[in-house]
Chain A
Amino acid sequence: MTRVLVVEDEPHIAEALVFLLEREGHDATVVTDGEKALELLSSHDLVMLDIMLPGRSGFEVAAAARTHDKPPKVCVLTAKGQTADRERMAAIGVDAFITKPFSNKALMETVRDLLAAS
């Protein structure tokens, strides 16, 4: 079973993500701050990551994820759609960058693609 870490401080968005991921047979865990996310990175295959988080930012979490021996895939989900943020995440090496609001269908297609590639 694929383990997905949802790093999202908006509870209703997190709840919808968990629902969608579990529907496709994944094991989803939710954390609401960057500090907790850093602790759990290594035990997950995919991280759905918001940028604006309490504690550590999404940039820090993404950068930390790249340092692992077997780095998880990282899919950024953010309301910060500016080019500068997108370029900064690309430089870190994230695998996907999706801006809010997104359609569930497009989001899950991206998740499938990422997991198929891993």
Chain B
Amino acid sequence: MTIATRVPIGDRIRAQRRSAGVTQRALASAVGVSPAYLSLIESDKRQIGGRLLNRIAEHLGVPADAFTAVSDDRLAADLNEVARTLPEGGPQNAAEFVAFSTDWANLVLTLHARMLTAEARAYRLADRFGRDPQWTSFAHDILSRITSIRSAAEILNDFSHMGDAQRQRFTDTVVDESARLTDVARDMIAALQSATAVDAAGADVREVDAYLQDHANHFPAIEAEVEALNTAIPLGGSPSQRFAAARAAVEAGMTDMLDNELVGTAFRTEGALKRARGALSRYAASALLMPYDPFRDKAIALRYDVEELGRAFGVSFEQVAHRLATLARPGEDNVPFAFLRVDPAGTVSKRLSTPALRLPLFGACPLWVVYDAFSQPGRTLSQMVDLDGERFLFVARALEKAPRHQAQPATRFAVMLGVEAAFADRLVYGDAFVAERDSLITRAGYECLSCRRERCAQRAHGACGV
């Protein structure tokens, strides 16, 4: 269920008013309401929006969006997602909590992310110690080395009367086996560190996800700069060759601009910063191949037919799908697409959520059509899903990427676009569901851990804590 996440703004209005040195009475008078009514607004006992909000902002000399922030709504939505995973159900007032303090809200999310990471690490390590041949071998080696050392040392200690040659053999055993034990310990620590590196990469992914969502997956400055580049990648060659050419053109002409876009961001690790930089570079390359205005116009004309758009712009299904999820210029009535990419094991490797459709960080619900796509390669599949009472249209297709080296197998992914059902009639894929017959709707969840559909035959495991 998507929970309303609009953060209350009364506190913000009061803070801005006080910071501007304006009394409640004076502001009320200036914007044409009674002081009592303004007091109710500042206490969040009255909803406010539109023209009155603009008048207050104008009088206080701040932009209207000073009272609201996309990042706050994202924070509240993330907190609701955390609450959803609790078996006993969590509090429903995430938006108020964010309004109280974004720092505390961020702290809760950080702690939750660390808990998930720790759980995943514990699971992985338990799995490794139990089954992974590498860890079984480590355990066997360590115990064998210690057994050799202990037996030899006890013999040297307990039997003083033995020949020099025999004594030397057991002494050599202690020395040799100690050296081998050191090697095993070193290898094991290196393996543990590589496991930790994987966890750190997972945290980086979450940070970059949050960054992209805070920008609604749209970067106007990059769009403008790409337009100013006035470079076109000629048609011809494979989509991946054209994308590589676009990346090269972007890095040649926009390096400083892309670096500057990240100045002032607060990524916690160098890895996250690099990942974000890569995401912006790919964003720019995508914008170069599919310039905003012509692409949007063509998308509307073709009713968002991904394959037709791919042919029109000489790009792949995935590139079109990803680009569609970035068409979010403020003030335009665009279709808000969420984008998901998974591998055949179900692991999410790329996701762009929207406020309406929060995509899971790990594996999604197995009933989602994105997984069916693997069994029907070459076909674009669509599905109308009911997720806890809210309906969405999903469009998915499996893709295969040629290996970089001949000896390697091709990599396989499936990508999916998701959009609220209210927009379905604007998409060519929505035509099949116009009837809204119950038999056409798939009742599903987001992912098993937070899903309450206890009787689902596809359930992989109980909801968290159940």
Report A's interface with B, CB cutoff 8 A: 10, 12-13, 15-17, 19-20, 23, 52, 79-80, 100-105
Contact B140–A16 (Cβ < 8 Å): no
Residue of A nearest to B137 (CB): A52
Contacts of A19 in B (CB 8 A): 155, 166, 170
Is B151 located at the chain interface by the 8 A CB criterion? yes
Contact B148–A13 (Cβ < 8 Å): yes
Contact A103–B144 (Cβ < 8 Å): no
Contacts of B139 in A (CB 8 A): 79
B129 CB to closest chain A CB, in angstroms?
11
Contact B173–A79 (Cβ < 8 Å): no
User: Can you report 17 residue pairs joining A to B where beta carbons are below 8 Å apart?
Assistant: A10-B144, A10-B147, A12-B148, A12-B173, A15-B173, A16-B151, A16-B173, A19-B166, A20-B151, A79-B139, A79-B143, A79-B147, A100-B146, A101-B143, A102-B150, A103-B150, A104-B151
Known: A12-B148, A12-B151. 17 other contacts (CB 8 A): A10-B147, A12-B176, A12-B177, A13-B151, A16-B151, A16-B152, A16-B170, A16-B173, A19-B170, A52-B140, A79-B144, A100-B144, A100-B147, A101-B143, A101-B146, A101-B147, A104-B158
Contact A13–B147 (Cβ < 8 Å): yes
Give bound CA distance, A20 to B154, whole Å.
Answer: 11
A4 CB to closest chain B CB, in angstroms?
16
Is B169 located at the chain interface by the 8 A CB criterion? yes
Contact A20–B144 (Cβ < 8 Å): no
Contacts of A52 in B (CB 8 A): 140
Contact B143–A16 (Cβ < 8 Å): no
Give bound CA distance, A79 to B158, whole Å.
Answer: 24
Interface of B (DSSP majority class): helix
Contacts of A15 in B (CB 8 A): 169-170, 173
Contact B169–A104 (Cβ < 8 Å): no
Residues A79 and B151 in contact in the complex (CB < 8 Å), given A23-B159, A104-B158? no
Q: Which 4 A-B residue pairings sit nearest by Cβ, starting from the closest?
A: A79-B143, A16-B151, A12-B148, A100-B147
A86 CB to closest chain B CB, in angstroms?
15
Residue of A nearest to B150 (CB): A101
Q: Name the interface residues of B280-324: CB closer than 8 Å to any CB of A.
A: none
Residue of B nearest to A104 (CB): B154
Contacts of A102 in B (CB 8 A): 147, 150
Contacts of A103 in B (CB 8 A): 150, 154
A103 CB to closest chain B CB, in angstroms?
7
Give bound CA distance, A23 to B159, whole Å.
Answer: 10
Residue of B nearest to A102 (CB): B147
Give bound CA distance, A1 to B26, whole Å.
Answer: 110
Give bound CA distance, A20 to B162, whole Å.
Answer: 12
Give bound CA distance, A19 to B148, whole Å.
Answer: 13
Give bound CA distance, A80 to B173, whole Å.
Answer: 22
Contacts of A100 in B (CB 8 A): 143-144, 146-147
Q: Contact partner of B140 among A20, A79, A101, CB < 8 A? A: A79
Give bound CA distance, A111 to B140, whole Å.
Answer: 23
Contacts of B150 in A (CB 8 A): 101-103
Residue of A nearest to B177 (CB): A12
Give bound CA distance, A80 to B144, whole Å.
Answer: 10
Give bound CA distance, A53 to B163, whole Å.
Answer: 32
Q: Contact partner of B144 among A13, A17, A105, CB < 8 A? A: A13
Contacts of B155 in A (CB 8 A): 16, 19-20, 104
Q: Name the interface residues of B129-144: CB closer than 8 Å to any CB of A.
A: 139-140, 143-144
Give bound CA distance, A13 to B151, whole Å.
Answer: 7
Give bound CA distance, A63 to B146, whole Å.
Answer: 28
Contacts of B177 in A (CB 8 A): 12
Contacts of A16 in B (CB 8 A): 148, 151-152, 155, 170, 173
B336 CB to closest chain A CB, in angstroms?
53
Give bound CA distance, A3 to B170, whole Å.
Answer: 24
Give bound CA distance, A12 to B146, whole Å.
Answer: 11
A82 CB to closest chain B CB, in angstroms?
9
A91 CB to closest chain B CB, in angstroms?
21
Residue of A nearest to B169 (CB): A15
B172 CB to closest chain A CB, in angstroms?
9
A83 CB to closest chain B CB, in angstroms?
12
Contacts of A104 in B (CB 8 A): 151, 154-155, 158
Contacts of B144 in A (CB 8 A): 10, 13, 79, 100
Contacts of A23 in B (CB 8 A): 159
Residue of B nearest to A10 (CB): B144
Give bound CA distance, A12 to B158, whole Å.
Answer: 17
Contacts of A17 in B (CB 8 A): 151
Contacts of B169 in A (CB 8 A): 15
